[in-house]
Amino acid sequence: MYRTTIKNPILRGFNPDPNILRVDNTYYIAVSSFEWLPGVRIYQSNDLVNWEHETDIITNQVDLRGNPQNGSIWAPQISYSEGLFYLIYTDVKSTKRPFKDCHNYLITAPSINGPWSSPVYLNSSGFDPSLFHDKDGRKWLLNEIWDYRMITGNKSAGIVMQEYDAKNQTLIGPVYKLFDGTELAKTEAPHLYYYGDYYYLITAEGGTGKGHSVTVCRSKVITGPYELDPEYPMLTASDKPESSLQCSGHGSIVQTSLGNWYMVYLCTRPLQNKAAILGRETAIEEVYWTEDGWLRLSSGTNEPSLLTEIVTREQVIFQNNTDFEDDFTGPLKKEWNTLRILADDSWCDLTSRSNYLRMFAGESIQSLFEHHILAIRQKDFHFQAETSVEFHPTTFNQMAGLMLYLNDSNYLYAYVTFDEERGRVLRFMRCENGQFQLDPAIITITAGEVQLKVSGNGARGNFYFRSDEEHSWREVTSSQDLLFLAGGFTGNFIGIAVHDMDKKASTYADFAYFRYEGLDSN
């Protein structure tokens, strides 16, 4: 056997709420996608060391148009039983306190790559649903329960469970309250496991910020009562401000074919101890069962580890290549994501101009319905991304270019547009926490393609441009603070986009390529 040292996180950039599953000798991790489609990204590995993006499950099963910022697809859970994959997920339609409209669904498939069934509606009592397949063949749905009556603090009121009738595709019988949570509060993300003589309930507590933690309880009867781990939380960075991995929680576990146990969990790596621009990422840690039947980190502490070891049958080299390129000579590569709508031929045309992506314009940058943006996750603190665009706007409401985008309240955009006096120009806009700023600089550009580039250097970023006949890059604007592109439940994206607030159906831009280069070392 070999022990391979890896450096957390194993899934870099926006990859939160990980749920891990082993089927035979293959491991899968599902992560939340929120308002980005296709949703529920699935990573696959044969050794727990190196992971590849295998597929995204949620496509046309959902309608996310109009869903709020930080809403939509939350905390998916995948499981496998008798030749069938099960995916449980929440579609969050409203997050305005004190209420929360969160609808839970189930879909199934014979393969992780589908075809996936039509969604089965389960309930709307709370988020973070999870399906447990008991040894007697019964199936149980768990979820956090939301209670708007709670006056102070978070309104997560604990974990409930109800039996699921797979034949009739409905919940049956009484609802059992399994766990009220601890004083850490905000109890959610339930995952149930059977080991030894006990059912183990693993939950997240303390919220998804600095207080995030993993709490475990157990019972010999599935419906409870559950006893609390006397040394909870079993994982947290809440009292460890110097830890490299912060906001650690939302764990799930897996046993390898070699008998070792591991937990995956979400974490952040804040820049300057305050801004997690890469979003919430996925880390892994070896765990073990104590003689008295409790789950512990193999490190001997409850602190998340930047470096950890994975036991493998053969020697494995840990790799971390985050580079990405699409030259648009074939179908769009699966790394791309879109906002609330899927990329289809109606606005992503790869046939009208050979070796180009012709992107037709959507609504404004802040639209919750038809924002035509193709984007990838920022996975490195230091990176470069560039594209080349040909665009012929005729009004100031038409724009196309290169974006850094967290959400509809926080973005940076270098774009080609039209000015009544100068014609085709390049401009720059910034929106920080909903406060919009239009850079006064107006750069006249010649006909033909314009190359745009953005470089990220930790907390700062720079946008550049050059025309076809130029060799040197020129700055679009001054160096930009990037720390505001952090927060909420997602992470920063880098993308290309086309907008037309005049809503002319014929407005389009042609992109020759998109290239992202990660500059962080392992």
Mean pLDDT per 10-residue section of the chain, whose length is 522 residues: 93 98 97 98 97 97 96 98 98 92 98 98 97 98 94 84 98 98 96 98 96 98 98 98 97 97 98 92 98 97 96 90 96 98 97 97 97 98 98 97 98 98 97 98 93 97 90 95 95 98 93 96 60
Question: Per CATH, which fold does 2-312 belong to?
Answer: Tachylectin-2; Chain A (2.115.10)
Please state whether the peptide bond connecting residue 174 to the residue before it is cis, i.e. omega within 30 degrees of 0.
Answer: no
CA 135 to chain CA centroid, nearest Å: 32
The DSSP secondary structure of 328-387, one letter per residue, reads: SSSSPPTT-BEESS---TTTEESSSSTT-EEEEPBS-TT-SS---EEEEE---SEEEEEE
Distance in angstroms (rounded) separating the CA atoms of residues 321 and 161: 41
pLDDT of res. 287: 98
DSSP state of 146: E
For residue 152, what pLDDT is reported? 66
Tell which CATH classification among 3.20.20.140, 2.40.50.360, 2.60.120.200, 3.90.550.10 matches the domain 324-518: 2.60.120.200
pLDDT at residue 521 in the model: 67
What does each C-alpha distance from 157 to 145, 163, 177, 458 come to in angstroms?
6, 20, 10, 38
Residues labelled catalytic: 17, 188
Contact 520, 433 (CB under 8 A): no
Lookup: tokens for 52: 């590849």
DSSP state for residue 232 in the 8-state scheme: -
Q: What is the location of CATH 2.115.10.20 in the chain?
A: 2-312
Token reading at 501: 């607030």
pLDDT, position 522:
52
Q: pTM of the prediction?
A: 0.97
Give the alpha-carbon dihedral of 48, 39, 359, 434, to 10 degrees.
-110
Q: Give CA–CA dist 508/522, Å, rounded.
A: 39
Contact residues for 437 (Cβ-Cβ < 8 A; gap 6+): 429, 430, 431
The one-character DSSP state at 496 is E
**CA torsion angle 66 70 73 77 (round to 10):** -170
In this structure, what DSSP letter does residue 411 have? E
Question: Taking the alpha carbons of 185, 154, 221, 256 in that order, is the dihedral positive or negative?
Answer: negative
Report the C-alpha gap between 114 and 105 in whole angstroms: 16
How many CA atoms does the CB half-sphere of 108 hold within 13 Å?
Answer: 12
Buried b or exposed e, range 214-228, using 16+ CB within 10 angstroms = bbbbbbeebebebee
> Which part of the chain has CATH 2.60.120.200?
324-518
